[in-house]
Structure 1
Amino acid sequence: MRKTLPLAVVVAAAAALVVPGVSSAAPVHEVQWVACPADVALPGLECGKLQLPLDYRKPQGRKTEVMITRLASKNPEKRRGILLTNPGGPSEGLTFPFVLKALGLPQSVQDAYDIIGMDPRGIGYSSPSTCDLTEEQMAAGSVPPYAVKPSDVRKRADETKKMAEQCLASSTADALPYNTTANIARDLDSVRAALGEKTASFLGYSYGTYLGSVYATLFPKSSDRVVIDSNLPASGWDVEGGRLMARGVEDTFPDFAQWAAAHPEYHLGTTPQQVRAKYFDLAGRLDAKPSVEGINGQAFRMLTFAGLYGTGDAAFSKLAASWKAFDTNQPQPPQDYPEVPRIQALLAGRLHVICGDSEWPSSVRTYERNVALDRVRYPMFGAAAANIQPCAFWPKPVEKQVQLSDRGPRNILMVQNERDPATPLAGAYSTRRAFGDRAAMLTVDQGGHGAYVIGKNQCANDKVTSYLVDGRFPTHDVKC
């Protein structure tokens, strides 16, 4: 995978911008079909590149390169259009059509659509961003570490300020003001037009729900059937959206606790209450003395958070085995980690987007108060989710944040697990209210992050497939 402006230059450039729109006279861009990179060359995938406006206010100006993939329908009689997809993140999306197929995306959906993947601008093969992050900085990821002591917030503030300064001084800093969800949504519509389609359907998960929401808001006439699964709140991944992860852990953990209590071979407790107590016991022990592999309590909490993304025996047995290793001071079971260069490009691009979408509080004291409050409200993960991010030291966004709108067709199907560690139901309700009659929400009685084809609820999977293929949209909010 591939791969200094002073802060004052970036800020000055940002201040000169107004809200960019897409003119009806804007040119239709062309797709250049190319050989897929080696790590994207999967059966059935075609790869293409587009040169799109870096700033849509200046459609003839500087371009940014966006790469897409296509998993084409092989049934012309049943094909009805294209299905734009996004896996969340913000992260790479080129292989996502293949991933969906491998997860069991129904053949009827594959027949109905050419399924389109895309690396969002600034990420992966789409003019990737860099912040010149060190391995230690990358290890922190995009979810903050747990603040064990109040002073940890101030320490983290120093670290995140340096990360922001690196992003703003990097070789890709000049693109920073334009790598936003609003512009990624405009890129999606440019892809639609370049493929010769009057409308496009959309399937997005996690962060992809916010992207799909912005797309449906900016382009109500060209958005066809929209499915958004595991929903961020209406304001996207802002400071409050990030804090919601703490509630998500509290909502979801009882599923794992009940499972672990029913599996005494892991010795984590014989009741859900004992398993919960084991969480705090292990976190405290690892805070005081890291494991044999140097894993501390912060990393343990993050590992548990990630482990709750899955559900059922496969996911929970893996998490339980990890806990057992910590409890007995043994090495961790093998874990799969992405290559460091991929993490670099991913985290830099993600910071561009979430920090550029909305204005985050700049006062360190605000985060200290949030951490103190959420440590009490959500003791398992509150002091992590509320901790400070590099966005606190970011320039003010150049464009007013897109406000989700109820103006447009009734075509947005929201899908939401009742227990989700990263995007809890409480946040989904916010988006549901913003869309009003444009949306219907399908809540699913299961845990984990991701419902459609990722989860095992056949009722939910059938309802989403029926909408995508046959257009059967619920007359009211429903539950599976």
Structure 2
Amino acid sequence: MRNHRRNALLLTLSTAAVAATLSGAPVAGAQEGAGLRWKPCVRENGPAGQECAELSVPVDYRRADKGRTTLAVSRVRSDRPAARRGTLLVIPGGPGGSGVRRLADKGRALAQELRGAYDIVALDPRGVGGSEKARCGIAESDRDLVHLRPWPGKDGETGENAERARRVADACARDGGALVRSMSTANEVRDIERFRQALGVEKLSAWGTSYGTYVAARYAQEFPGRTDRFVLDSNGDPDPARVAHGWSANMSRALEDRFPDFARWAADPARGELRLARRPEDVRPMFLALADALDRRPEPTTTEGVPLTGNRLRQALQQTLHGDEFEGLARMIGAAREPGHKPVLPPYLAHPLPDEDATVAVATICNDVRWPRSVRSYARDVAADRARYPLTAGMPAGIVPCAFWKGGRDDKPVRITADGPENILMIQNLRDPATPYFGALKMREALGRRARLVTVDSGGHGVYLGNGNACGDRAVTRYLTTGERPARDAYCAAGR
């Protein structure tokens, strides 16, 4: 669930023990806060007054004396101290999203909406952004997004994917070290609690997006007394036995639900030279036929040595449908259909991911839960998914390094429940291709009386301050600034 290249991938300690280890008395929190040495770090187009610091946390909270790692943290203090009512944590998507970068990107809009009600803070999770880096030494070819994501080969072959997944898992086991083994949602939650202590505040409010909704929900489950007002934006199914495995599987149907928005756009006569078909119903068979042709005969692109394959086209579709800017995809399709024209690849398709980005994404999803181990079962699942949802060609059911993962998984999965304060507002697009609405309903069901859900009749991934729906933005802003939630689950019409 943010930066496109990172977005491209989807307790041995009891809760009481974790709380005892991390919560601390207010005085201890204030003392830790004195250790945060803030310095200016204003970014171009970012909010005025942004500051950054470093936070030291244990690599392993069970063995806090066995090593530490450093996290980059950031804040933008309220410019209206008399109006300030608390501290709002921005939790990015991913796994692998940078909280510091997201604060820079959204800080101005947040500050304008919230009118000084909060100090706004964020942290970079382990291995991300300004935090201590971790690398598995994954081969460059294996970091190509259409390889790191398990797109099947021509006609649905999965053998090469299995070999690649094993190589990545072996690289992380060999070269990743303790930091890679520590990357998990459980430790991100613990790091957030340590950050709260370091800030010297009694409670946190939060705005979590995409994968960040799961992080926020787990924090609210494990530290309910430390939560103020929580917003969960673009939610996944929190099934504790599946987590990222389930999120990936859901993408097949999710993309099918979103595709008609693109089809209507692409068949609109107003598109001129970008129009791809005469009728919306013609766009889907055209796309599938083109992807199949590119599987068999890739086209050269403006990036030397990187042709447009069927899987690169499918990945471009999936990535594009996260937002509403369809022109680049339409131009790519048009060039691929026109003899003598070379398609232009976006950066996330033209170049491999950096090793640290690939490492964080893979390690977190593999350390969180156990994935199926049978190579044959993945092959069967891919064939079935491919037949049912041709647009994604079986990729969401494909084999990933988690099938061969070694180490990690020191924490039992946490079930999200209705136990805790009634202080959560969920917001969700109806046609989200990454965290689909039917998955968000599972989060809504799990939270029960604790939550209200605002449904927005829109496509794309990310709602608050992201898709231009004023009704949805008002609902979130009202809750964060006044504490007022809808009396019951609510609906925002398109364009309102």
TM-score (structure 1 length as normaliser): 0.90
Q: 1:273 to 1:446 in 2, by over 3 A?
A: same
Q: 1:99 to 1:137 in 2, by over 3 A?
A: same
Give the alignment partner of residue 100 of structure 2, picking from 94, 99, 110.
94
Partner of 2:280: 272
CA distance in 2, matches of 1:332, 1:33: 48
Partner of 1:130: 135
Is 1:114 the counterpart of 2:119 in the alignment? yes
Alignment check: 8 A CA contact 1:22 1:57 kept: no
Deviations 1:57-113 (A, max 9, x none): 2344421211111111111011111111122012222121121135x3361415111
Q: Where in structure 2 are the equivalents of 1:154-193 lying within 5 Å?
A: 154-170=159-175, 172-193=176-197
Aligned-residue CA RMSD (Å): 2.4
Alignment check: 8 A CA contact 2:145 2:349 kept: no
**CA-CA distance at 1:282 after TM superposition:** 1.2
Alignment check: 8 A CA contact 2:60 2:67 kept: yes
Alignment check: 8 A CA contact 1:147 1:384 kept: no
Partner of 1:441: 453
Give the alignment partner of residue 256 of structure 2, picking from 225, 231, 250.
250
Is 1:296 the counterpart of 2:313 in the alignment? no
Q: 1:432 to 1:213 in 2, by over 3 A?
A: same
CA distance in 2, matches of 1:247, 1:285: 23
Give the alignment partner of residue 484 of structure 2, picking from 453, 458, 472.
472
**CA-CA distance at 1:456 after TM superposition:** 1.2
Alignment check: 8 A CA contact 1:106 1:465 kept: no
Deviations 1:321-359 (A, max 9, x none): 221122215223463459979732111011111111111
Is 1:432 the counterpart of 2:444 in the alignment? yes
CA distance in 2, matches of 1:355, 1:328: 42
Partner of 1:83: 88
Q: 1:38 to 1:105 in 2, by over 3 A?
A: closer
Partner of 2:230: 226
Partner of 1:387: 398
Partner amino acid, structure 1, of 2:406: P
Partner of 2:8: none
Give the alignment partner of residue 345 of structure 1, picking from 341, 352, 356.
356
Q: 1:92 to 1:402 in 2, by over 3 A?
A: same
**CA-CA distance at 1:238 after TM superposition:** 2.4
Alignment check: 8 A CA contact 1:207 1:232 kept: yes
Deviations 1:96-137 (A, max 9, x none): 1121135x3361415111111211012222222111122211
Aligned residues: 459
3-state secondary structure, aligned to 1:21: helix
Partner amino acid, structure 2, of 1:298: N
Alignment check: 8 A CA contact 2:84 2:118 kept: yes
Partner of 1:21: 18
Partner amino acid, structure 2, of 1:465: T
Partner amino acid, structure 1, of 2:71: V
CA distance in 2, matches of 1:422, 1:347: 18
Alignment check: 8 A CA contact 1:52 1:66 kept: yes
Partner amino acid, structure 2, of 1:125: G
Alignment check: 8 A CA contact 1:206 1:231 kept: yes
CA distance in 2, matches of 1:237, 1:393: 17
CA distance in 1, matches of 2:36, 2:191: 15
TM-score (structure 2 length as normaliser): 0.87
Alignment check: 8 A CA contact 2:76 2:107 kept: no
Q: Name whichever of 89-98 and 335-344 sits farther off.
A: 335-344
CA distance in 1, matches of 2:90, 2:275: 41
CA distance in 1, matches of 2:273, 2:412: 54
Query: What is the percent sequence identity of the aligned residues?
Result: 36
Is 1:320 the counterpart of 2:343 in the alignment? no
Partner of 1:305: 318
CA distance in 2, matches of 1:46, 1:357: 31
Partner of 2:6: none
Alignment check: 8 A CA contact 1:44 1:72 kept: yes
Gaps spanning 5+ residues in structure 1: where?
Answer: 1-13
Q: 1:120 to 1:227 in 2, by over 3 A?
A: same
3-state secondary structure, aligned to 1:131: coil
Partner amino acid, structure 1, of 2:85: R
CA distance in 1, matches of 2:490, 2:83: 28
CA distance in 2, matches of 1:354, 1:417: 24
CA distance in 2, matches of 1:432, 1:224: 19
Partner amino acid, structure 2, of 1:419: R
Deviations 1:126-166 (A, max 9, x none): 2221111222111136532244334x212101111000100
**CA-CA distance at 1:303 after TM superposition:** 0.6
Q: 1:143 to 1:341 in 2, by over 3 A?
A: closer
Q: 1:340 to 1:267 in 2, by over 3 A?
A: closer
CA distance in 2, matches of 1:233, 1:331: 40
**CA-CA distance at 1:382 after TM superposition:** 4.6
CA distance in 2, matches of 1:232, 1:164: 25
Deviations 1:24-47 (A, max 9, x none): 675643443255679799543211
